[in-house]
Amino acid sequence: MTVAASAEPVTWDDGLQGFVVSGFDEAAQVLRGPGWSSDPRALGGDVFAAVPPGVLLFMDPPDHTRLRRLLSPAFTPRALERFRPRVAAVVETVLDGLFAEADEADLMAEAAYLIPLALIAELLDVGTEGAQVFRAETPGLVRMLEVTPTAEDIERGARASNELMLFLLPLLTERRRRPGDDFVSALLRMPELEPEEVMATCVLLLAAGHETTANLIGNGALALMRDRSQVPALHAGPSRAVEELLRAETPVKLAGRAALTDHDLGGTHVPAGSRVVIRVDAANRDPRHWPDPGRLDLARTPQPHLAFGAGHHYCLGAALARLEATEALPRLFARFPNLTTTDPQPHWRPSSTFHGLAALHVRP
């Protein structure tokens, strides 16, 4: 289902049978305020029955607060900074192979997805076998993250989740017996975390972290190939440039919530029990907040955006995604300054939720 943005900050959508929030202030109010649920089962309906429990993304306080408090220290920018040399090495290795066998490559399959996949596999220390399992199952897994999923999306996502759990279960058992210095072992050392919560966190890292980062790299590369005048600003300030790419080419278009209480959003009454879909992409281009919001300007002074959400569900892996993008995009355009797409039209993924490319064919 397509969820259309509107010039009005809050509108009713008959097809969705819910409210669509396109304004920045109103979206931030939903994401940051109390009285909203992130659990899709709060809306009822059999389609969500297969959503696995214990996934942080779908949890509400107080369970979410407890789990988030335990996990957050591992994902702070300071904690992740020690991975920067390894991120850079992975990016360089991927770029070494990008045009090794042909003078054309699919940047999505051969770089944008490979970089986060390699890093997550390394973070979890699962080796080549684990990386292959992750690559096979992640496309199915992310389908359960659709804000307007079909029964098939949920079924495929649940099936992929089960396959990943079957792979991870013996690994968790072994790490509990013989802990290492990997992320899984670190989680298992926390007595407050239940084993199923460790498992669900690993699955979430694969689903949300892999997809969002790949989209950020792919969308950013396409935007820069379309406007090469922006490349100097990328090299001059990678962190600032990535913030503008997150705003203008938001990797996640939609976020869903259920109203637990009555709300007033920009003068629109939203009754308890209502479904609300936030158009993150539209909110990040709200002209009330950004002058000429449709223009990409990598030298723009960064302002708060909603690409990673806000409030207690602010993306746990935001710092990791930023780290990967700030290493990948400057290195890509330094290595291949004349990088050009051969696609007459972008091949966007058929997704109501994700703003990402299915393929991006390029030449050096």
Q: Give me the pLDDT at residue 263, please.
A: 97
Say what the pLDDT of residue 73 is: 86
Q: Residue 297 carries which side chain, given as an amino acid letter?
A: D
Question: How many whole angstroms separate alpha carbon 184 and alpha carbon 124?
Answer: 6
Give the C-alpha separation, 350 to 171, whole Å.
Answer: 34
Q: Helices in the chain by DSSP H: which ranges?
A: 24-32, 63-71, 77-81, 84-96, 107, 114-124, 127-141, 151-177, 183-188, 195-204, 210-226, 231-236, 238-248, 280-283, 318-335
45: left (phi over 0), alpha (psi -120 to 50) or beta: left
Residue at token pair 């990016």: 91
Q: Give pLDDT, residue 157.
A: 83
The segments of the chain whose pLDDT lies below 70 read 1-6, 42-55
DSSP assignment, residue 354?
Answer: B
Q: What is the pLDDT of residue 51?
A: 58
pLDDT score, position 2: 62
Task: Say if CB 196 and CB 172 are below 8 A apart.
Answer: no
Q: Which domains does the chain have, with CATH numbers?
A: 10-363 (1.10.630.10)
Please, what is the end-to-end C-alpha distance for the chain in angstroms? 37
